[in-house]
Amino acid sequence: MTSRKRKFRSVAITLGVIAFFMRAGLAQNLSDDDSSWQQYIHLVRASTLDLRPTEPFLLKLDYELYDLEGKPVEKGTVEESWGVGGSRIHTKSPTLQEERPSDPELEIKTHNRESYLVRQVLDSLVHPLNASATQTNVGFDRFQENFGSTDLNCFAIGLANTRTPATPAYCTNANNRITVLTGMGPFVLRRNNFRKYRDREVPLDIELSYQGRIAMTAHVTELDVLPPENDKIPATAEVDRDRRISGTTLAGQILKKANPVYPKQARKKHITGAVLLCAIITKEGTIGALDVVASPDPLLSQSAIEAVQTWTYKPYLLKGVPAEVDTSIMVNYNIGR
């Protein structure tokens, strides 16, 4: 079934997002609140495209990439085929030609800001929630937040009373659809223009913003059953997803960490904020690729890159073997530090 409407999943952020995350919420353990858990399970089932192995699908998107200032720079397409063994993703634009998994040894050939944002948009469409969570291993923080002219009911998942600006949070509308995602960056991702696919609620339009600037928009151009002759995705495809490790997880694996130098010009102009980097960490634990996803100023971007590219990590083990991983790194700049 082919369908076309407008755009995109996106992560739009306002300057008030920090206050939004710091606002007090009611923390509950899901094991003590069956209604919260039931709502969560309903959302997982209603929004996760790759929930059932017996339902392979083909997803196609058109997207537009914006630069760090929020100005459009180029357009591209991405296609995900999901079936037995995992997914295969093809991305094509004037500056990015990528297929994942890339080869039998699963070495990451391309990893930059555009690639990082494409994967974030895809994730927000295919599996916005963590389907592997259990009723006893997560906390549930409820709160309300205003986006534009609309108040949304929101929740964050994690250990009770530990929500921070980096904690993933999800907001639903009156129809109990996930319409806003927020998290580290900070980012806001908006999901709009829903259609029914099988028994799922799928947004056709995405808008992703970091630090108040649009980073990417996307529109679903096709969502259909994967033809039987194409549903045998190599099992190695699932391993590719396993190599995407959160910056929080890898922070404890840093062996050598040079602190960034606060640029004098940035201090003089009182420029503060966070630089978000996407990175490849090699099998040896060195930085193999590095790009800026979001930043308040080019001076801070350069400072963060110069520092982080010298960091070394304990090699990450995937099934007991050192493997390349892709991750994100946040570097904060505060005048008082």
Q: Which pLDDT tens digit goes with each residue over 84-123?
A: 777 889 999 999 998 877 554 555 656 799 999 999 999 9
pLDDT at 149: 76
pLDDT of residue 128: 94
Element holding 44 (H helix, E strand): helix 34-47
Q: Which CATH architecture has domain 17-240?
A: Clam (2.50)
HSE (side-chain half, CA atoms, 13 Å) at 109: 12
The CATH homologous superfamily of the domain defined by 243-333? TonB (3.30.2420.10)
Task: Classify residue 296 by its DSSP letter.
Answer: S
How do the domains of the chain map onto residue ranges? 17-240, 243-333
pLDDT score recorded for residue 103: 52
The rounded distance, in Å, linking the Cα atoms of 320 and 323 is 9
Mean local confidence (pLDDT), 271-282:
95
The distance from CA 334 to its chain's CA centroid, rounded to whole angstroms, is 25
List of residues 6+ apart from 137 with CB closer than 8 A: none
By C-alpha distance, which of 301, 197, 186, 318 is closest to 250? Answer: 318
**pTM: predicted TM-score of the whole model, two decimal places:** 0.84
Question: What digits encode the pLDDT tens for the residues 228-252?
Answer: 766 566 655 555 666 788 888 888 8
Mean pLDDT along residues 19-34: 37
